[in-house]
Structure 1
């Protein structure tokens, strides 16, 4: 958020360092924007669209910074990049760096060790003003499923603004240069350039929000148009000043109504930003546009009331402080009620006030820093260096994942201990008499809870075999191939990340069976066409055609998914599989495994965090047995296609005692890594179970007596290269 208080500079400060007196209506808009965000994050009912306060800030920021740049360009014929960035450094970095350092230290003390890696990354990303892209990538990363919001998630909007303001002064200089050669006025040139930028960014925002909303929310390219709308107001200020007073007042009222409607009617289910963000963006623009024609209109006087000016002056610091303190409250007191959340939010107002007067203003108005541009830039570099160093220090304390350690998991660990040895060659597998004897209540765990999220099918993910959200291209036939590369049996593994988790067991099975396993999986994309994003629908349509094309029809298709749904979803899955079945492919559906939710665990932690927090009693993290969310739809597809549904759920939640029946650690192996995903180690312990069941279904040929009941070694898979 571009900040400004409109307060007078201390005596002795050069005129260039003195702040402009801000319009009261804009200070009031700042207050509205920060209150929207603050109360929304505090969980106040009825303010479901409060997150759009950021959109209000974007328009204000575009207007204010462009006012400064254009004024300088008109006055001097150029823009001093050094002075511009020195001013930005003195204004933004004191508070931003302070909050980063404090949050990093507090997070290191409060968060589980396993989250230090993300915390350190976020501190460095926020310091460099690129953290919005870090969050955009995390939104489409299956590993981020069920992860808690970052303590620094609000810094994404600051990153968007600063990236815009790296480019915007350069564009102004380019327009000045071209204008002198083409005899084009600055206003005309900038209006043309900005108009093109706003139109292109808005169009991209609509398209990207429809195809990949998680990424679109944080991306700079989908937000530039909002800053550009504010900038355009500066170029139109002459015409706006000539508006009739009644028109101006009506425009301001309409803008405030648009913002209010956004707060009440928009919610987290609204695709954002996209076209929906036009409402608060244009509403804010309308209020700003009305100001020059009638500065003392009733709406302007209302916005300029002393309490509004006070909050508007604190808006930058308040925005910085409110989110970390509310998130730290949620981490330490997840059951905190609305009263406590509001009290903490009010405390952030005091933090913002103290930061303004003790840190921000002394640096901003320092004669020593303001007198020479180089000093301001040096201060900025030093501030960023300090917060970046703190982020790196946090990263250095993050636990590291060592795959070699997992190679030493005892052979009988994990799910293997749940299976009655006498049943291994019988018609049906049976559990041991009392599965509870296999449950692990304390002691060593593979993988360690703090690195559980990294216990993944590393070969598959490392090779990019999981197609990311937004992409539609199917991996080439010679890539992402596992098992026996020259095997006579072709197997296609299809679905989302819940399907891909089984590659840790399928690879050793494939090597024994002579299977050539080709991975066709896509993040958050079950093999369906309903309740799916456009890129998922397009990918699955192309894949369904590929799997039914002569010469590409696999001998066997294995698929699973996590998406919850009933008959419609199951029918869509069946429709996608049917052409391949009719072309001769066998199909086995793998039921979605049961999984805990945060609400079922102490303090709403993830399962691995819970295990780490209860080293002497892993049983405190047990959860009720249930059915995997994707299994109902898979059941429908199984019935419609008359193909087998293989359910290994009882080896994940074996029961054997009073509820809750699902243990977090079985035979020394941690069951879950993130959300509903099984650790790769636990899946490897399920290898003989899965292999035996595939033999019983007739799709695998190895005699039951020859299946080795031991935890398979970690993936040695190739991706098609010899």
Structure 2
């Protein structure tokens, strides 16, 4: 049942929105089987532990090493080069069983938010289980030791210790999920209680073996099944998870196991059917194979998964799982002698090393290609081609020849990391918005402040060029996702919502009045206003920006709002990935002003406010021409993901931002349209 939930969820997520709870069912079952085994063969010495871990190696590692190696080769052959580095790193992390911690770090890494899922992302749960398998026998060894000292039954001590583990881990899970559900989903402390819940069941007698009538035990088992299915059907990606919401599938699974009945009316009748039993036997290999196929299949076919593709993936998953069960899982279990420990541990070390070498070779290739691309980029920029970047559109249609696909700069793999200096300089307020770094660029007398979220920070490369040219100093007040407004934003966390407002209040206090000759700001609305949906958020967002801008205006602060460029993310999650997938046809990654449209309540608020000193500039004509918004403009890759422009393209926009900035500084008369045309 668990693997079925996961399969359906990954292939048809809209049909079973909470199918991810199948992993939680796995956890409970794993905890139950492992604890039952350890209590049946109580570990008393280091040798007992070594033999237990050797059995785990023989059971789990051969199939996982095979899938990781096959995925590494397949990804190199069909995945776009922009994803090779991510996949290689995650393959190494999976081979070392720390993938869950790597993904937890990515979940809180704003720059990784647009990364496509890797074909080994599902190894997070296997990594977590292996960490549990490593530590849990030590807990049971301690239980056996304590029971001997205290002269108590091992089962009683085990129940008390496991209950304490469940209570502590569940508390951590609830708190961590409330703070940051993205990272809490993957980390080990938030999940241990689920495996321990299965362990607790292993210390209890089955209900069917007590005085409880078997029919009643069967009814409880069906109640547990209903709880699992209810979570699978009603939970969604928006459900805070794991936390307290994981109690439903975990308790449901525990109840099914605890019922322990083979009554004809129990779920055992269904679970005992031969097809269900067969799927259970191959479930480990099914889980290993299904996700790499789902992720890599579209790269091989050149199209998103259609219904017939999904059926093909399902069929291929079952075939590969059956073959892996017979020729790898079963064969290696007998090929590695059960009575000897050294061969098992030698195999584990060799397998990890081999997969790590595969990943390392891929990283070496990525590094080599990156060095070549950097040389190409430097050569192109040094040539000062008048048709490079934004100038290709500025010079008008037909003036510049279309760029050749092989001349794309930065090369798509580099474009993903083509960032403003503010990132490497640590100039960002992240996570809870309590850090408030301030950075300066240039040392001129004219003082400019660059404030806003990452869509303000993306203009820094252009401003640096102008600062060097005119003798300006740029001071940055940059924050991730948080918008500078009086309207509270919905971060699904009251503290972050409050901290974002506080950060905006602080920036206002730092910049209003005469400290700066000009405040430059821009933003993308990536979070809804609190209490609003995306359909209703624009109006209150505009009102919040008007209130904020009005305070600047009342203090006599000059402000220039740069309209956010077109937003490819409405159609394409990553321009570099798209270009890497269509190396001979960059136009496949282009859009139109209509298809790439996104609200810009900050720019709209500035126009509607029409207050003294508040101006706007619209550079859309340097992104779109003749109703086409190219992904590559004048041979330069314009976007580093689905929304941010590359630092290279930003630098080519400096000449066209120059006039509006100098006009804003001089406060010359002129409408927003006048400034936009300069």
Q: Same fold (TM over 0.5)?
A: yes
Match of 2:530 in 1: none
Instruction: Provide the rounded CA distance (Å) in 1 between the counterparts of 2:91 and 2:192.
Output: 23
* Partner of residue 522 from structure 2, selected from 545, 560, 563: 560
SS in structure 2 of the partner of residue 369 of structure 1: coil
Residue in 2 aligned with 1:652? 623
Superposed displacement of residue 45, structure 1: 5.3
How far does residue 664 in structure 1 lie from its aligned partner after superposition?
2.2
Per mean C-alpha deviation after superposition, the further-off stretch among 642-651 and 516-525 is: 516-525
Q: Distance in 2 between matches of 1:386 and 1:336?
A: 32
- 1:683 matched to 2:644? The reply is no
By how many angstroms is 1:465 displaced?
2.7
Q: Any conservation in 1 of the 2:429–2:437 contact (CA below 8 Å)?
A: no
Q: Does 1:571 align with 2:543?
A: yes
Q: Does 1:444 align with 2:420?
A: no
Do the aligned partners of residues 613 and 264 (structure 1) sit closer, same or farther apart at CA in structure 2, a change above 3 Å counting?
A: closer
- Residues in 1 aligned to 2:155 and 2:433: alpha-carbon distance in whole angstroms: 42
- CA drift of 1:136 comes to 2.3
2:171 and 2:450 map into 1 onto residues whose CA distance is 37
**Counterpart for residue 505 of structure 1:** 462
- Distance of 1:549 and 1:184 partners within structure 2: 65
Shift in alpha-carbon separation, 1:631–1:115, aligned structure 2, 3 A: same
The answer to whether 1:590 aligns with 2:562 is yes
Partners of 1:617 and 1:550 in 2: how far apart? Answer: 47
Q: Is the 8 A contact 1:108 1:116 kept in 2?
A: yes
Structure ranking higher on relative contact order (CA contacts 8 Å, 6+ apart): 1
* Pair 1:250 & 2:219 matched: yes
Structure 1 residues 508 and 381: alpha-carbon distance in aligned structure 2, compared to 1, 3 A threshold: same
Q: Secondary structure at the match of 2:435?
A: coil
2: distance between equivalents of 1:78 and 1:138? 36
Q: Is the 8 A contact 1:42 1:338 kept in 2?
A: no
Question: Corresponding residue for 1:265?
Answer: 234
Change (3 A) 1:216 1:114: same
1:166 to 131, 134, 140: 134
Q: Contact 1:415/1:652 (CA < 8 Å) preserved in 2?
A: no
1:45-64 mapped onto 2 (5 Å cutoff): 46-64=15-33
- Number of the residue aligned with 1:463: 425
* C-alpha separation in 2, matches of 1:197 and 1:443: 57
CA contact (8 A) 1:595 1:628 kept: yes
Q: Determine the structure 1 residue equivalent to 2:177.
A: 209
Name the counterpart of 1:417: 391
- From 429, 432, 451, the equivalent of 1:493 is 451
Q: How many residues align structurally?
A: 642
2:267: which partner in 1? 299
Matches within 5 A, 1:484-633: 484=442, 489=447, 491-495=449-453, 497-512=454-469, 515-528=472-485, 529-534=488-493, 536-549=496-509, 555=516, 556-563=518-525, 565-575=537-547, 582=554, 585-597=557-569, 599=571, 606-626=574-594, 628-633=597-602
**RMSD over equivalenced CA pairs, Å:** 3.0
Cα shift at 1:177: 4.3
Where does 1:162-201 land on structure 2 (aligned, <5 Å)?
A: 162-181=130-149, 186-201=154-169
Shift in Å, 1:630: 4.5
Tell me the CA shift for residue 413 of structure 1.
Answer: 4.9
CA distance in structure 2 between the aligned counterparts of 1:567 and 1:446, rounded to whole angstroms: 39
Q: Distance in 2 between matches of 1:578 and 1:537?
A: 22
**Matches of 1:638 and 1:174, distance apart in 2:** 69
CA drift at 1:59: 1.0
Whether contact under 8 Å (1:567, 1:633) holds in the other structure is no
Aligned to 1:15: none
Q: Contact between 1:58 and 1:230, CA under 8 Å: does it hold in 2?
A: yes
Q: 2: distance between equivalents of 1:687 and 1:258?
A: 59
User: Which stretch of the first structure deviates more once superposed, 303-312 or 549-558?
Assistant: 549-558
2:451 counterpart SS class: strand
Task: Name the CA distance, whole Å, in 1 between partners of 2:503 and 2:102.
Answer: 30
C-alpha change, 1:487 and 1:236, in structure 2 (3 Å) is farther
Change in CA separation of 1:439 and 1:574 when aligned onto 2, cut-off 3 Å:
farther
Structure 2 CA distance for aligned equivalents of residues 160 and 149 of structure 1: 18
The answer on whether the counterparts of 1:492 and 1:520 sit within 8 Å (CA) in structure 2 is yes
Distance 1:175 1:463 in 2: 50
Once residues 211 and 334 of structure 2 are traced to their aligned partners in structure 1, the CA distance between those partners, rounded to angstroms, is 37
CA change 1:551–1:164 in 2 (3 A) is same
Matched residues in 2 for 1:195 and 1:516: separation?
Answer: 60
**CA separation of 1:614/1:247 partners in 2, compared to 1, >3 Å: closer, same or farther?**
closer
1:448 deviates by 1.2
Q: State the alpha-carbon separation in 2 of the partners of residues 619 and 273 from structure 1.
A: 42
Q: Partners of 2:552 and 2:570 in 1: how far apart?
A: 38
Once residues 189 and 472 of structure 1 are traced to their aligned partners in structure 2, the CA distance between those partners, rounded to angstroms, is 45
The range that moved more, 338-347 or 580-589, is 580-589
Deviations 1:3-36 (A, max 9, x none): xxxxxxxxxxxxxxxxxxxxxxxxxxxxx11111
Q: Is the 8 A contact 2:374 2:410 kept in 1?
A: no
Q: Aligned partners of 1:574, 1:120: CA distance in 2, in Å?
A: 47
Q: Structure 1 residues 241 and 540, CA, compared in 2 at 3 Å: closer, same or farther?
A: same
Query: Secondary structure of 1:464's partner?
Result: coil
CA distance 1:375–1:308, change in 2 (3 Å): same
8 Å CA contact 2:519–2:560 kept in 1: the answer is yes
Are the equivalent residues in 2 in contact too, given 1:72–1:78 (CA < 8 A)? no
Match of 2:417 among 449, 454, 468: 454
**TM-aligned CA deviation for residue 514 of structure 1:** 5.3
Mapped contact 1:439–1:663 kept (Cα < 8 A): no
Question: Counterparts of 1:475 and 1:116 in 2: how far apart (Å)?
Answer: 35
Contact 1:77/1:176, CA 8 A, preserved across alignment: no
Q: Is the 8 A contact 2:389 2:635 kept in 1?
A: no
- Is 1:388 the counterpart of 2:356 in the alignment? yes
Distance 1:520 1:562, change over 3 A: same
> For residue 60 of structure 2, what is the aligned residue in structure 1?
92
CA shift at 1:78, angstroms?
7.6
Q: Mean alpha-carbon deviation: is it higher for 667-676 or for 236-245?
A: 236-245
The 3-state SS of whatever aligns with 1:519 is strand
Mapped contact 1:493–1:517 kept (Cα < 8 A): no
Change (3 A) 1:542 1:151: same
Distance 1:569 1:551 in 2: 21
User: Is the Cα contact below 8 Å between 1:513 and 1:700 reproduced in 2?
Assistant: no
Instruction: Tell me: CA distance 1:648–1:628, structure 2 relative to 1, closer, same or farther (3 Å).
Output: farther
CA distance in 2 between counterparts of 1:628 and 1:698 reads 30
- 1:256 and 1:537 mapped to 2: Cα distance? 38
Ranges in structure 2 where 5+ consecutive residues have no aligned partner: 527-536, 669-678
Q: Secondary structure at the match of 1:521?
A: strand
1:400 aligns to 2:370 (yes or no) = yes
Q: Does 2:247 align with 1:289?
A: no
Task: Please report the TM-score for the alignment, with normalisation by the length of structure 2.
Answer: 0.86
